[in-house]
Amino acid sequence: ETGVTQTPRHLVMGMTNKKSLKCEQHLGHNAMYWYKQSAKKPLELMFVYSLEERVENNSVPSRFSPECPNSSHLFLHLHTLQPEDSALYLCASSQGQREQETQYFGPGTRLLVL
């Protein structure tokens, strides 16, 4: 295990539902990330939080709303999603401000939007 946990591991939701994905890191890191992994596409960065502030936002639709209440927890709130949002959502964390820092990933949440 990498020290990054994600819940739930699987989620099925309708387009009118509201749900949240949770990520928790036990590594003492100060940066956290959300990535989307779709079939046959490279991993896409969604959001980056550093010291609980959002520092990158990769043009993600507003139906995805991140929240970082402290340096150990990261949420992704989902609202009125579309079927094309079905994917594996990966959380990662890293330590420090330097570019050479390594990101450690959680196991992901497999999301299916019906």
| Residue with token string 């590594």 | 27
Residue given tokens 């003492």 in the structure block: 28
Which of 58, 82 has the CB closer to another protein? 58
Parallel/antiparallel/unpaired status of strands 109-113 and 10-13: parallel
Question: Cβ closer to another protein: 44 or 67?
Answer: 44
Strand partners, 33: 48, 92
Q: Which residue has the tokens 């959680």?
A: 106
Please report how close the Cβ of residue 99 comes to another protein at its closest, in angstroms. 5
Q: What are 112's two structure tokens?
A: 């299916």
Q: Which residues bind another protein (CB under 8 A)?
A: 2, 4, 6, 31, 33, 40-43, 45, 48, 50, 55-56, 58, 90, 92, 94, 97, 99-108, 110
Q: How far is the CB of 40 from another protein (least distance, A)?
A: 8
4 or 11: whose CB is closer to another protein? 4
Rounded least distance, CB 82 to another protein, Å:
23
Min CB(80)–another protein separation in Å:
26
In three-state secondary structure terms, 39 is: coil
The Cα 25–Cα 6 span in angstroms is 9
